[in-house]
Structure 1
Amino acid sequence: MKQLKIIIKQKAILFLGFWLLALNGYAQDLQTFIDEAMANSPEIQKVDFQYKIASEKVQEVNSLPNTEFNFGVMAIAPEMEMPMERFRASAMQMLPWFGTISARENYASSMADAQYVEVTIAKRKLALSVAQFYYQLYEIRAKQEVLEKNIALLRTYERLALTSVEVGKASAVDVLRLQIRQNELQQSINVLTQQNKGIQAALNSVMNREHDREIAAISSLEIPENDNFYSYERLSVNPELLKYDKLYESVERSELLNQKESGPMVGFGVEYINQENSPMITSDFKDMVMPMVSLSIPIFNNKYKSQTRQNELRKLEIQSQKEERLNVLKAELAKAISLSKQARIMYETQAKNLKQAEDAEEILIKNYETGTIDFNDVLDIQELQLKFQMSQIEAVKQYYAQAAVINYLIE
């Protein structure tokens, strides 16, 4: 009876206590990994630098054309009675049409805004990747724990079988079958250990640290009672769609800039001419200063008309791209919601199966008290319980993996 109590106690730990979890602790651990990945990821650093470069271009366009300076010296002076100039110098500054510089700044700012959305997308994708690897580690380690506990139960059954052999209630074959089953479960644990190393290395790579660094992931999760899934309207806040809005805005500002640049440019300058002394000059001022005004008019403006047509086509292209991407995201959201609901159904079904398997095991234990235990039935029940437990773990992993996808799409 002492061995029976041990079995019942172990089964209680295995089937009832396994799914208890402090969800706050889980979330904090996962968030820690995400934060570390955000801080160390070269991908995030790359897109962040691209955003800073795009932002700096706002300052680049906030400038006037180069000021033009000219200087000329009379190298060979002909003999003439009239006064000769020694040298001349001039300066000219061209100014774009009113509002052109502001239009350039607005266009550069819109491109920087579009690049910032790329930073947001990269961060969300990185967080999703970390979460997916994390849940794979959960699945592996949860299965390892279940297998180890099942091996411990089989060892207890093995001791029972040995005792039964001594009193003639079982055969040595029953003992060997129990030992073979233990070997099979140990093999599964070893395989999972290798899988754990691979996923752990992948997660370490995402966090940009040593591939063999140990990761302390949880081994127990449970599906919450209620789902907080939102409607498809929430897709409108996804950065992948907001990116197209920013691109559309940048094209509109590009067209405004195109209209401004198709206008004339005005230049203001001054020219100074230095002359030799001459009796012909009676004024006190022998040198000349000439203010100058220049006007640059784009008479042949096919370039700007073509740019306008290109911008119109570009806007239509962006609208089509956004609609296409929205359809893809809707399909992904529908798939993720469906898979998460399937996971819940699977989890609840396996919970019922486990309860029934426990009832069947309890009957076998009572039969042992009357001396009619069948260890073949024990192995069958144990295999069923292990199958149900593994299915539950897979269902939990699928639920949270799809929840991460949903979170990426609509949060």
Structure 2
Amino acid sequence: MKNIAIILFFTFHLASGQDLQSYISEALENNPTIQKFELKHELMQEKTNEVNSIPNTEFGLGYFVSKPETRVGEQDFKLSAKQMFPWFGTITSREHYANALAAVSYEDIAIAKRKLASEIHQSYYNLYTLKEKNSIVDENLELLKVYETMALASVESGKATMVQVLRIQMRENELLALKQDLLETFASEKTVFSKLLNRNHPDGISVVDTLFIPKEEMDVLDSLSIHPELIKFDKMYASVEKSELLNQKDKAPMIGVGLDYISVTERPNMTLADNGKDILMPMLTVSIPIFNKKYNSKTKQNELAQQEIISQKKERQNELETLLSKAVHEKASARINYKMQVENIIKTKNAEEILIKKYETENIDFYEVLDLQELQLKFQMNQIEALRKYFMAQTTIDYLSVKK
């Protein structure tokens, strides 16, 4: 259920998000970073069993080399057993402290899963952007081929020069080089994406055909107070409180019970009451920490640790609030930029149609054609980049907040 919530948290804006959802599920199951934090949490939980114990029972055996003589006989050897018990509630305090530490490690899992989902989205959007840019380059290469055919025909009719044809061909070479760079970057990003899924190879990775910017924005609630990164600080603070309660219990005395057994040999040729009777001596001991300087120091350390946690939480909260504000601004800016690029592309398409019609009736300046093609490529690249920035900003918002 926790994994499903993370998946749904991030996937509302995909035109076809099923593939991405399955990728996130796969990553949450297989990513070694998540497994590391889950194992750490299990380890911290297991520590509660470790602290739920009392000190070792002490056994002793002593043999009298020089046997002391008593009225009822010589003492041969001595057996002893002793068990110390912590003060009432100490073991419970240890369990509470261990559980508090386990609760902190649990938040590490939640944070790691959020970050992993965010990284998968970012890599996914990079893949989509590279794929679309490659398609844009292909579209412009086809356009240049048309221009090249037109230019060659114009050369034959004396309306253009071969220099203009060569300029078009050089432009084609530039786009072919750009296409090769995009393909290599795409292959590299697929490797990054596959490693997030903990796959050994990037085969079988695909992205959706279309991403779109929603017509209406969803409101963002100020939910940073319940963000796992900040909740973790609250649980760290609580763990220090449990540590201090345990420290106060450790200052209390320890009570011990024991039993000594001494073997006694009968005195020969004597008739005595209790002759050779062994000695059995129950004992009660108390361990009192008279010199408790270390406990006072521990109290001071806990107070300082709590102050540090408060400062760390405030620092991180300020950072998250800044990230959220910046992401909201970048998202709005990307939407505006995207809309502007769409309008510019429409205008370049209209200009292209005008040039084609002009070619049918009179001479055409192919330098102007190349300038127009370069502008069109620029606007198309800016459009897909604006789309990428929009979704990158949305990913940051998704990581930091919830939507209504």
State the TM-score, normalizing by the size of structure 1: 0.86
What is the alpha-carbon distance in structure 1 between the residues aligned to residue 362 and residue 171 of structure 2? 23
Matched-pair contact (CA < 8 Å) for 2:266–2:275 = no
The answer to whether the aligner puts 1:197 opposite 2:187 as a matched pair is: yes
Q: Given residue 196 of structure 2, which amino acid in structure 1 is its aligned partner?
A: V
**More moved, 182-191 vs 316-325:** 182-191
Instruction: Provide the residue aligned with 1:327 in structure 2.
Output: 318
Q: Shift in Å at residue 300 of structure 1?
A: 1.9
CA contact (8 A) 2:72 2:274 kept: no
2: distance between equivalents of 1:277 and 1:54? 57
Q: Deviations over 1:95-125 (max 9, x none)?
A: 1111000000000110111112122222222
Tell me which of 25, 45, 62 is aligned to 1:35. 25
Q: Does 1:399 align with 2:379?
A: no
How many residues of Structure 1 are paired with residues of Structure 2 in the alignment? 389
State the secondary structure of the residue aligned to 1:295: strand
Moved more, 132-141 or 193-202: 193-202
Contact 1:142–1:220, Cα closer than 8 Å, also in 2: no
1:24-48 alpha-carbon deviations (Å, 9 max, x no partner)? 5642222333333333333223222
Distance 2:52 2:244 in 1: 18
Code of the aligned partner of 1:46: K
CA distance in 2, matches of 1:325, 1:280: 86
Give the aligned partner of residue 376 of structure 2.
Answer: 385
Does the residue aligned with 2:215 lie in a helix, a strand or coil?
coil
2: CA distance between counterparts of 1:289 and 1:169? 125
**Residues 122 and 361 (structure 1), Cα distance of their counterparts in 2 relative to 1, 3 Å cut:** same
Equivalent pair of 1:117/1:242 in contact (CA under 8 Å): yes
Whole-Å separation in 1 of the counterparts to 2:93 and 2:37: 25
Are the equivalent residues in 2 in contact too, given 1:357–1:384 (CA < 8 A)? yes
The amino acid of 2:397's aligned partner reads I
Q: Which residue of 2 aligns with 1:262?
A: 251
Q: CA deviation at 1:305?
A: 1.5
Residue of structure 1 aligned with 2:279, choices 269, 280, 288: 288
Alpha-carbon separation, structure 2, partners of 1:357 and 1:238: 46
Distance 1:320 1:373 in 2: 69
Tell me whether 1:175 sits opposite 2:165 in the alignment.
yes
Task: Report percent identity of matched pairs.
Answer: 47
Aligned to 1:51: 41
2:152–2:165 contact (8 Å) kept in structure 1: yes
The answer for the alignment partner of 2:355 in structure 1 is 364
CA deviation profile, 1:8-33 (whole Å, cap 9, x unmatched): xxxxxxxxxxxxxx965642222333
Contact conserved, 1:37 with 1:206, CA < 8 A, in 2? yes
> Is residue 296 of structure 2 the alignment partner of residue 305 of structure 1?
yes
Correspondent of 1:234 among 210, 223, 226 = 223
Distance across 1 between alignment mates of 2:375 and 2:121: 30
Secondary structure, in 3 states, of the residue corresponding to 1:84?
A: strand
Q: CA deviation at 1:372?
A: 5.2
Deviation of residue 248 (structure 1)?
0.1
Within 1, Cα distance between the matches of 2:67 and 2:233?
Answer: 66
SS in 1 for 2:358: helix
Code of the residue aligned with 2:246 in structure 1: it is L
Matched to 1:175, the amino acid is V
Residues 145-180 of structure 1: CA distance to partner in whole angstroms, max 9, x if unpaired?
011011112222333344444555545444333333
Partner deviation per Cα, 1:228-265 (whole Å, 9 max, x = no partner): 2514x311122221111111000000011011111111
Equivalent AA in structure 1 for residue 89 of structure 2: G
Unpaired runs of 5+ residues, structure 1, are 1-21
RMSD of Structure 2 on Structure 1 (CA):
2.5
CA–CA separation in structure 2 for the residues paired with 1:306 and 1:182: 74
Query: Which residue in 1 is equivalent to 2:206?
Result: 216
Give the residue type in structure 2 aligned to 1:246: K
Contiguous gaps of at least 5 residues in structure 2: 1-11
Aligned partners of 1:351 and 1:392 also within 8 Å: yes
**In structure 2, what is the equivalent of residue 245 of structure 1?**
234
What's the offset of the Cα at 1:219? 5.5
- Cα deviation for residue 209 of structure 1 reads 3.3
Give the 3-state SS of the residue equivalent to 1:407 in structure 2: helix
Code of the residue aligned with 1:255 in structure 2: it is E
Greater CA drift, 349-358 or 78-87 = 78-87
Alpha-carbon distance in 2 for matches of 1:264, 1:108: 22
CA deviation digits over 1:63-96, x for unaligned, max 9?
0011111222333436666422332222111111
Q: Output the amino acid matched with 2:224.
A: L
In the superposition, the TM-score normalised over structure 2's length comes to 0.88
* Aligned: 1:348 with 2:339: yes
More deviation, 303-312/177-186: 177-186
**Deviation at 1:393?**
0.4
Alpha carbons 1:272, 1:287 under 8 Å: kept: yes
Instruction: Report the alpha carbon displacement of residue 328 of structure 1 after superposing the two structures with TM.
Output: 1.1
Of 46-55 and 101-110, the range deviating more from structure 2 = 46-55
Judged with a 3 Å threshold, the aligned counterparts in structure 2 of structure 1 residues 266 and 281 are, in CA distance, closer, same or farther, namely farther
The 1-side partners of 2:272 and 2:32 are apart by 74
CA 1:96 to 1:60, structure 2 compared with 1: closer, same or farther past 3 Å?
same
Tell me, what secondary structure is at the counterpart of 2:213?
A: coil
Q: Superposed, which structure 2 residues align to 1:23-102 within 5 Å?
A: 24=14, 26-77=16-67, 82-102=72-92
Q: Match of 1:56, as an amino acid?
A: E
The 8 Å contact of residues 77 and 262 in structure 2, kept in 1 or not, is answered as: yes
Superposed CA offset, 1:182-219 (max 9, x none): 22211211121222233223333333333664632346
Work out the CA distance in 1 between the residues paired with 2:15 and 2:349: 30
Give secondary structure in 1 for the equivalent of 2:273: coil
Q: Which residue of structure 1 lines up, in the alignment, with residue 215 of structure 2?
A: 225
* Residue number in structure 2 paired with 1:105: 95
